[in-house]
Structure 1
Amino acid sequence: MKLLKPALFSAALAMPSLVYAMSEASDACIDALRATGTPDAQGGEVLSSSYSEAGTLVMLRDLGGSEYKCIVWSDGRVGELTLVNAMDDGKGAMAGNKAPVHGSSTKTHRVQFARGTSGATYDGTLTPGSTVRYVLGAANGQFLDVNIRHHNGRMSYQIWNPDGTSLLDMIPAKTPYRGQLWQSGDHVVELINRGKQTESFTVEFHVK
């Protein structure tokens, strides 16, 4: 499926420069989304776009159903591309369960802690180019620990805040993360296999 251009309302047809600016902004956001390299980002649709003198806000949805906010400044530069709504597969994977990912795709799993515990562990595999997202609810002020083990190759990960801003930029999977959260809600930990071989992994989450 190709990325669709936003519908242009008849009121905007009288302003060709505005139409052109919105179209150019949508194209820039589409290119920025594709450049993330995830398979789901190679298709989808433009949900909306709104123009201002400072820049244009474009909302996108990828093939996996996840939604992104993209801001393009008036000079044509993409100033922001953030995940605002990660699609959950609804399976509610429990701690310790296998969470395999097959093919060049993106899967999302809800992290759930067993009663009386503050941690969860997941095993899985990622084929080349594939991504898996773990959605984890936590509160402002709590500490989050992420540790990824038993992997080789070029695996990396990043963490998103509930509002879609970046909590942790992309880092190698061998580097553990520990930090205090400053928002309440669903945080997204996204693992990516950028290598050429299928990789196995174990990821541990702790929230205190």
Structure 2
Amino acid sequence: MSVEPEPPRPGSTWPVPPAGGWIADDLDTLPDLPPHTELIDGSLVFASPQTLFHARAVSLFGRQLHLLAPEEYEVSVRFTIDVDQHNRPEPDVVVVRADVVEDADQTRFPASSVLLAVEVVSPESVGRDRETKPLKYARAGITHYWRVENDRGRAVVYVFEREPATGQYVATGIFHDRMKVSVPFPVDLDLAEIAPKRSRNT
């Protein structure tokens, strides 16, 4: 379920979608969109206020993947990707080929350049992160998808890899306290770092 943004300022109105819905280019031209607006099936999806768990998880994965990724890849946090004309989602963390990073004014990456998409689930994004986005990411050819969920303040990471013959994701692991994988490149993470320090030993 999308979250309603704050009411528009006096004298302004929220944009009315055209017939057939919005397209990917519209995210760069529509005025006064809230930060981190996504396009899903031609509809605008507004981000909810970020929880502490979400912020800490995005920070950990963004920071560690940046350190661990080979030189031929770049890591970005909360950056949109072009899946198709009517879908421009914003993964919480994305790993892309370095050759598609052009300049500081760039606003998106092509899905064909994405090696890994990471989504940190929020209460309002459960359906999108468990069902809608994985389907679209797999169809776009993104090989690796990780979903991070909050289990009473502790992170659980569900790891998926795209099976070439079917074009669908298959689960390859579930990680609780420590995440150690060899693909798409070696990653070894202490997931306890996401929890506040005073709760790690409870």
Q: Which of structures 1 and 2 has the bigger CA Rg?
A: 1
Structure that is richer in helix per residue: 2
> What's the TM-score, normalizing by structure 1?
0.25
Structure that is richer in strand per residue: 1
> What's the TM-score, normalizing by structure 2?
0.25
- Higher RCO, Cα 8 Å, sep 6+: 1
